Chain A
Amino acid sequence: MKKKTTEKKGHVVAWINKAEWDQVLEYLYSKDCTLQKYALHRISAWKGRFAHNTPIAVESTADLVRCQILDKSGKLDADDLVLLYGTALMRFVNLITERQQGKIARPLRRLASNLKIPEWIVNLRHDITHRKLPTLKWCRKGCKFVLEWLQQEYWSRQLGSGLAENWDSQSEGEDGEEDLQRQEDELITRQKEIESYKKARELLISFEKEQFQTFEGFLEEDKQARLWPEPSADMSWILAQIKHFALESSEILIDALIEDGFVVPTIEQLASLSVDNSDADPTAPHLPRVVLRFWLPLLKDLNSELFIHLLLEKLFVELQQLSEDDQKHRSFYIAGWISEVILCNSNKNEYHYESKIQRKARLKDKIFMKRIQLRWQQLLAACLNAPCVATPHLLQQILEDMEHPMPLDTRQKLLRLSSIYTQGADSGCDPPMEHSGQPSGIYTLESLHERLRVQSRRQVNMMHPGTVSDSRKALPERTEDFQEHLSPDVLAERAAELRGSPWQVCTDKVQWKNYPLGKVPGQSEDPSCLMVENFSTIMVFDQQVEMENATQHNAHAGVSMPHRVTTDGLLWTHNDISKLKAGLQLF
């Protein structure tokens, strides 16, 4: 069973509904033997459904109630009953303590006391297994106690509280000690993570400080020479440290890096860098050059392929989280960085006409020079997972830059979809799709219908002018319909093939999609609705397997083994049996 869905969708159980469960519970603990028997019979059907998954408590209760019924019937001797009770009690103690058992066997007494099962019950079990058999009186007493215990601990608490948990987390059998060990390990690793995270922050802050100093100095010195000075000795040392740190835990470094106040500058930081970014276009985020250059020394130092991959990945994850809680400033910068990294990787040759100096300047701003193999599919998925106003912009960058570009119309559709989703303005990538009447950029089903209608009219007009109305009519019916509609031809064909047999295709006018498996129209909610009052039994002998495909089904008719049916009981004479024996083929 799979965790997520079962949590959402519920568990499969053997009872149709709560009413059936309640009925069985009531009957099990009633004083009336016939009702108890009825409950036992129903549990036998449950076991058929559950197969190997019958809850231990249900099985144990049924076994003990069975003993009580047989006891009350007065048909069995005391010795018989001790054996019966003995098995039921022994199984109860063994099975119920099973889950408490770890890798090393622990005494049942201790396990039982955890479960509030008194020691005398465990002793009773020990007596039954390997000592002198207990008396019937003790057995009855034990049985009564255990039934009460089961009622209290299982039946009356089940299906009431909302403590839904998974079959498997229980059935896999967890070990307490292992749990502890695991928790400890987790704690240790968490501790380590926190430590290194702190260190990452410290390193980055010292980088910022150093960089800011140089920046200020540079502002004072010479405003014309738009060049950053060579890194100072301190700076080189800090960079070396960061680089070393990144070798071990680049993931943590990136986590720290994309916190507010680092690559996403705070308002104060921006002010001190004298950047005014208030008029930036959020749909096409573009990093202020100063911010980029501020971080460039660090990024240039870390620009391994792995690091870039990880950075992009983390940025997208961050963007995804941001899109949920709407922080415009932050998402602008995150998107801006993504855009910057992808741009660095771009191999487009749109810079044909630039001068050498221009080119030099441009390359200077690049985080890395050589084009690297990005994981485009993953990027694409990540980008689509993080919808925000900048998504169409980023998407377009990715789509254009992919190693193996997607078909043009797929690209256009994707862009279109993303701009619809983010409710941005038309990204202008698909002029043929743009047409009248998109007042607010909000797309509704109607606008889709409208478009379809326009297109189909165009097509229809081209082919058969005059049938526009038909195609219009067909449109509203295109909703998802799960119901299987068999065509009259198929129905007739199936009916013909089944003719002469008791089988039929159900022709009732029933919307089967409304009825879950196990329910039919008109079925009552009463838990006793499926009871069989009259039935006949059929005895069958093993027979030769000779089914061919339907077309040749009589091919082996002659070689089948003898068989005989009797309805309602055994009715053979000695003669019959000897004939049967003679007909048996020994292999």
Chain B
Amino acid sequence: MLAIVSLLSVVGMGSPPYILLTKGKPLITMKVQKSLPKTKQTSKRQQCNDKWFKSNRIPQNSDSSNLSPSTAMAKLEHRASNLRKDKPNLKRLKKKAMTVSFRQVKTPAATERTPSRPLTNGGAGRPEQGSDSDESQDWSSFAESVLHQNGGGESMEGQESCVSAKAVPGRIEEEAFVHCAERDYIHNRTVLVMQQGQTLCFRGKCLLSCLYGRVEVHGFTLEEGQQSYPLFSPSSHCPLTVTALGDSPNPSKTKKAGRLEAKAIVRKYLSAETCKRLLSEVDSDSCVILLEPLDTPLTRFLNSFPDLKELFGLSSRDIRDSSAMLDTPLSGLGITPLRRTAGGMVMSQTYREALNGLVNACAEELDGCPVILVCGAKNVGKSTFNRHLINTLLNHTASVEYLECDLGQTEFTPSGCLSLSTVREPLLGPPFTHQWAPEHMIFYGQSSCETDLDRYLESLKSLWRLYNRETPIVINTMGWVKGFGFQLLVDIIRLFSISHVVQLSSGDKVMCPQLTPEFLRSSHGWQTHPPVQSALGEDNSGTHPAQRSYTLFSIHSEFEGAGRPGEMRHQRSNEQRDLALLGYFSQLQSPEPGPVRPLHCFTPYQVPHSAVAVGVTHCEVAPTHVLYTANASLVGLCCLNEKVSGRGSPVLLSQTPVCPCVGFGVLRGVDMARGLYFLVTPVAPSVLRQVNCLLLGAVTLPNTLLTGQTGILGEPPYVTMDYSFELTGAGKLHVFKGLARPGQMKNAK
């Protein structure tokens, strides 16, 4: 099969980037010398190790008069299947090859690029280049996508309206739904036609497929012909926004052909009489999306808890601002669109610049991949930024690595766990909706690391050694940025050869110093220290490997409530932790719809006491009483290299090892007579067979799992109705922060 060359930039000014795609091989981005004749450029093929490629984006020309047919030839190949052995059907396009047509398109992005940093996705990355009138297509397509990510950005929406005559930009409001959405009652799905720049911000959950055109959700671009993606927008988080990107990914079509095609698609999904109204809305640059209800084991399991019934409903803020549109063709699907009053995601200028810069960096780095560290105090939006960044990178690359250094608010695992994940699918919901098994995991056992900083760092180091350095990596850090927390941050930057640091902050209060490379050169970490300056002042790079410098992006978060912990329902960190665990254990439920089974109803696995070691990571427990801690508790399923054999009796760990963890389970019961542990876990038996160590931590099972057990004989253990919190000392230790002294109060007045 012929390798097909995709020529993404055609105009011969500056040094345009060329992206070469070769079937079955990593795809490459390279800069081509100015002097290179154009005819040669097109036939050039190269093999390179850079995985950076760009397969789904179709070039589009902003100025057809400058183009000659030979240079404009560009074909696209579908992604080589061996790049994703495990999930071959992911993000693959229906159409295998497309050719460029010349059409005059003036995208909104192109007209208002000046405020943001110009970008070339292909890799040229010259700041000045973007200001040329005939800039690279690539740039416009990317910049547009980034700019559009400004979910509720009024400025964006406002300016756009003067560009496009036909499109009605901005949030789709109530009256608009009458024209642009049509529900198919038989299949219970809704087809929505969006005009370029329009956004749909919503609460709830649904399955989204893009039927025509391109839409963007939290940084990720969905194109026609791709699989459908589940979207989760629960009340606990910032609502998701779907933005129509407008330009059809298939420029070969003329405007008319595009319109006809889009109309044909609409007709395919709707009956003749219902689609009539919709057809008049369809144009060649509209987007047509299909929304279907989403029912998964996760949603069924969560819905079985009375407290979580409203999880995918409206947040108290939505209700306060009465921003919900309750009666739309979407309401039967499980989603509620929000009015403009509900802001959606707020991206500051610095936020967008950082995102642009990082995407550029990923395109540029030919040797080795960027190592991106994201840091900042609590509640400044680190994890939202991470998801946005990963989603944006996934538009261009098959996978992104993710190293979790935050024990409290973990992305892919229940908390108390450090992990290294390969992310291949976009993250279109909060953490509890994607509890995917990471490639590598280490059980730490607590939701903060302060009790054992060394074990924390050692765990991270051993995860870091497993990083293959062939894909970009995003490192998430904890919100503890003071004192030792800051020192650990310094260590992580030093040890993991970070190439880009993203530092988020909010408000005016300075939580921690700017992590500039200069600052880092002289700061002390917990384990690492700045290189000793030799008295002679000579360059000591010979003896010490010179510390690699990095690029710093400072982001100032400007969303409402930045820097403060969430106060609404399901926003507190312990509730988030419980949700993550419930999300994890929802994997036990059968994929077919049926009754939701409580945890105790599953057939457990059994293992002899002597075959698995038991360890408590967070406190000292008398060995003879250890099963009182372990019974009915959450356990990390870990693998020690050595054989565990206890001559018929339980085996206890004397200290906490840094060892791989393959998942979690509930120690469902202990059979003392036969010497067996019973375990309920969603981990596959083929993985479970290697488990020889059960670790206990301070992260406990959600209380609802114990209190909500139905259908049991007798009283559930560990649950009481009679505990009185009225009595002195009945509550837990509670630390008041910032207790003011009487004297201080006077001074303040």
Residues of A within 8 A of B (CB): 1-2, 4-6, 9-18, 40-42, 44-60, 95-96, 98-99, 101, 103-105, 115, 150, 153-154, 157-167, 169-171, 173, 373-378, 402-404, 406-408, 480-484, 486, 493-494, 497-498, 500-506, 512-520, 522-523, 529-551, 553, 560, 563-565, 567, 587
CB distance from B633 to the nearest CB of A (A): 7
> Contact: A517 with B703, CB < 8 Å?
no
One of B442, B461, B598, B628 near A45 (C-beta < 8 A): B628
> Contact: B708 with A9, CB < 8 Å?
yes
> Contact: B729 with A404, CB < 8 Å?
no
B742 at the A interface (CB under 8 A): yes
Of the A-B pairs whose beta carbons lie under 8 Å apart in the complex, a sample of 26, sorted by A's number, is: A10-B707, A10-B719, A12-B703, A44-B625, A53-B732, A154-B727, A159-B724, A164-B722, A375-B327, A376-B326, A482-B601, A497-B685, A498-B689, A503-B605, A503-B606, A514-B712, A515-B712, A515-B713, A520-B670, A520-B678, A530-B670, A539-B653, A539-B654, A540-B613, A560-B641, A587-B461
B537 at the A interface (CB under 8 A): no
Q: How many A-B residue pairs have CB under 8 A?
A: 430
Contact partners of B365 in chain A: CB under 8 A: none
Chain B contact residues: helix, strand, loop or mixed: loop
One of A153, A481, A532 near B595 (C-beta < 8 A): A481
Q: In residues 685-737 of chain B, which contact A (Cβ within 8 Å)?
A: 685-692, 696-701, 703-734, 736
Contact partners of B643 in chain A: CB under 8 A: 565
A-contacting 9-mer, from B129-137, B221-229, B615-623: B615-623
A-contacting 9-mer, from B68-76, B144-152, B658-666: B658-666
One of B331, B690, B716 near A553 (C-beta < 8 A): B690
A-contacting 9-mer, from B117-125, B368-376, B462-470, B503-511: B462-470
Give the complex CA separation of A565 and B689 in angstroms.
Answer: 20
Contact partners of B624 in chain A: CB under 8 A: 41, 531-533, 535
Report B577-618 CB contacts with A as 1/0, cut-off 8 Å. Answer: 000000000000000000101111111111110011100101
B89 at the A interface (CB under 8 A): no
Give the complex CA separation of A18 and B733 in angstroms.
Answer: 23
Known A-B contacts: A51-B700, A549-B687. Give 8 more (CB < 8 A). A16-B717, A104-B740, A154-B730, A530-B672, A536-B647, A540-B653, A543-B660, A547-B639
Report B542-556 CB contacts with A as 1/0, cut-off 8 Å. Answer: 000000000000000
> Contact: B731 with A517, CB < 8 Å?
no
Contact partners of B306 in chain A: CB under 8 A: 4-5
CB distance from B564 to the nearest CB of A (A): 17
One of A54, A166, A565 near B725 (C-beta < 8 A): A166
> Contact: B685 with A9, CB < 8 Å?
no
Contact partners of A167 in chain B: CB under 8 A: 725, 731-732
CB distance from B574 to the nearest CB of A (A): 8
Query: Which of A96, A500, A532 has the largest count of B CB atoms less than 10 A from its CB?
Result: A532
Give the complex CA separation of A327 and B441 in angstroms.
Answer: 63
> Contact: B716 with A516, CB < 8 Å?
yes
Closest to B175 in A: A373
Give the complex CA separation of A505 and B606 in angstroms.
Answer: 6
> Contact: A154 with B728, CB < 8 Å?
yes
CB distance from A467 to the nearest CB of B (A): 24
> Contact: B719 with A154, CB < 8 Å?
no
Give the complex CA separation of A537 and B653 in angstroms.
Answer: 6
How many chain B residues sit at the interface, stated as a range, is 35 or more
Give the complex CA separation of A115 and B729 in angstroms.
Answer: 10
B439 at the A interface (CB under 8 A): yes
Contact partners of B185 in chain A: CB under 8 A: 406-408
Closest to A48 in B: B629
Contact partners of A95 in chain B: CB under 8 A: 729, 733
Residues of B within 8 A of A (CB): 174, 183, 185-186, 188, 306-307, 326-329, 331-332, 439-442, 458-459, 461-463, 465-466, 495, 595, 597-608, 611-613, 616, 618-629, 631-633, 639-644, 646-655, 657-662, 666, 668-673, 678, 684-692, 696-701, 703-734, 736, 739-742, 745
> Contact: A502 with B608, CB < 8 Å?
yes
* Contact A545-B466, Cβ < 8 Å, known A173-B736, A482-B595: yes
> Contact: B719 with A11, CB < 8 Å?
yes
Give the complex CA separation of A58 and B727 in angstroms.
Answer: 12
CB distance from B557 to the nearest CB of A (A): 27
Give the complex CA separation of A46 and B604 in angstroms.
Answer: 25
Chain A contact residues: helix, strand, loop or mixed: loop
Contact partners of A104 in chain B: CB under 8 A: 739-742, 745
> Contact: B644 with A484, CB < 8 Å?
no
Contact partners of A522 in chain B: CB under 8 A: 671, 673
Give the complex CA separation of A296 and B310 in angstroms.
Answer: 39
> Contact: A497 with B686, CB < 8 Å?
yes
* Contact A546-B466, Cβ < 8 Å, known A49-B628, A537-B653: yes
One of A54, A374, A403, A519 near B732 (C-beta < 8 A): A54
Give the complex CA separation of A2 and B570 in angstroms.
Answer: 10
One of B623, B657, B741 near A537 (C-beta < 8 A): B623
One of B597, B631, B662, B685 near A547 (C-beta < 8 A): B662
One of B603, B655, B731 near A170 (C-beta < 8 A): B731
* Contact A59-B733, Cβ < 8 Å, known A484-B602, A498-B685: yes
Closest to A523 in B: B669
Contact partners of B648 in chain A: CB under 8 A: 534
CB distance from B543 to the nearest CB of A (A): 15
Contact partners of A540 in chain B: CB under 8 A: 613, 640, 642, 653, 655, 657, 659
Give the complex CA separation of A542 and B732 in angstroms.
Answer: 33
One of A51, A402, A481 near B698 (C-beta < 8 A): A51
Give the complex CA separation of A47 and B689 in angstroms.
Answer: 31
> Contact: B601 with A158, CB < 8 Å?
no
Give the complex CA separation of A40 and B621 in angstroms.
Answer: 10
> Contact: A165 with B650, CB < 8 Å?
no
> Contact: B619 with A9, CB < 8 Å?
no
> Contact: A518 with B669, CB < 8 Å?
yes
> Contact: B727 with A153, CB < 8 Å?
yes
Give the complex CA separation of A493 and B189 in angstroms.
Answer: 38
> Contact: A545 with B658, CB < 8 Å?
yes
Give the complex CA separation of A171 and B731 in angstroms.
Answer: 6
> Contact: A516 with B654, CB < 8 Å?
no
CB distance from A149 to the nearest CB of B (A): 9
